[in-house]
């Protein structure tokens, strides 16, 4: 059996998901329940998770999924039962595309620096980078800090964060992370030239790089950019 506050919070989260498709913020939940601090919300959410009513979606700053609701929290036109402990699985609506909120954030791995000039040593895992979900499409992603100026004519500048969708193949003209000789990674346009792979810069001051196809491995395609102004 849920406490009154647990029931109230679960109902509020479900209403917000039904109307907007977006989880309410902790501040919004605190105000809706008339609590003085967010710590109370954290405790309520943890209790609902332990009892199997809620699930936190991984790698998202604010995303909750309601797994089931008490009968009392069902729609007003549903039959009302006197048994308050009767729990029913959440009846999900027909699948629909929900807009991604600009403040819905996903953390992706930040793999250090990637050369936008000549190849540099292959990157390794370091930290995570918080990225607006609207900048990412389907699939798994990671981020790289751009070093160099060879892609400036494509709008990619030194210090930008390149958002990369993991992929092992590329189409002609894609901007890719290419691993050369198993150790040097670079960000370039991908082209095929006979039996060779040509990695083109977007800066007239640089020459294309040509390699035998077996020397180049595609590790991802550019899907977006983040830029910080100092």
Cβ burial 33-62 (10 Å sphere, 16+ → b, else e): eebeeeebbeebbebbeeeebbeeeeeeeb
Do 226 and 143 touch, CB atoms closer than 8 A? yes
d(CA 144, CA 141): 10
Please say if 150 is a catalytic residue: yes
- Which of the residues 39, 150, 204, 223 is marked catalytic? 150
Q: Residue 156, Cβ neighbours under 10 Å: how many?
A: 21
**Count of residues in the chain:** 230
Q: Are strands 196-200 and 120-121 parallel, antiparallel or unpaired?
A: unpaired
Neighbours of 131 (CB within 10 A): 20
Closest CA to 48 of 88, 104, 1, 91: 1
**Which of the following is catalytic: 23, 113, 188, 223?**
188
- Is 25 noted as a catalytic residue in this protein? no
Continuous segment of H or E residues that includes residue 29: helix 26-33
What residues are annotated to the active site? Answer: 150, 188
């Amino acid at each position: 059996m849920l406490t009154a506050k647990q029931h109230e919070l679960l109902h509020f989260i479900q209403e917000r998901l039904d109307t907007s498709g977006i989880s309410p913020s902790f501040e919004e939940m605190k105000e809706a329940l008339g609590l003085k601090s967010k710590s109370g919300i954290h405790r309520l959410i943890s209790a609902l998770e332990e009892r199997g009513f809620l699930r936190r979606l991984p790698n998202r700053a604010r995303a909750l999924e309601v797994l089931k609701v008490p009968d009392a929290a069902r729609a007003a036109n549903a039959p009302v039962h006197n048994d308050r402990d009767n729990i029913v699985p959440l009846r999900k609506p027909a699948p629909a595309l929900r807009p991604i909120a600009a403040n819905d954030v996903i953390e992706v791995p930040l793999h250090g620096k990637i050369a936008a000039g000549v190849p540099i040593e292959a990157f390794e895992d370091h930290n995570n980078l918080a990225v607006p979900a609207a900048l990412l499409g389907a699939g798994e992603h990671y981020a790289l800090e751009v070093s160099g100026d060879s892609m400036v004519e494509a709008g990619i500048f030194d210090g930008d964060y390149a958002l990369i969708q993991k992929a092992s193949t590329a189409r002609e003209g894609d901007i890719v992370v290419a691993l050369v000789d198993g150790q040097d990674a670079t960000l370039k346009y991908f082209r095929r030239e006979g039996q060779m792979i040509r990695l083109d810069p977007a800066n007239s001051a640089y020459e294309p790089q040509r390699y035998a196809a077996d020397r180049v491995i595609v590790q991802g395609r550019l899907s977006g950019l983040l830029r910080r102004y100092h």
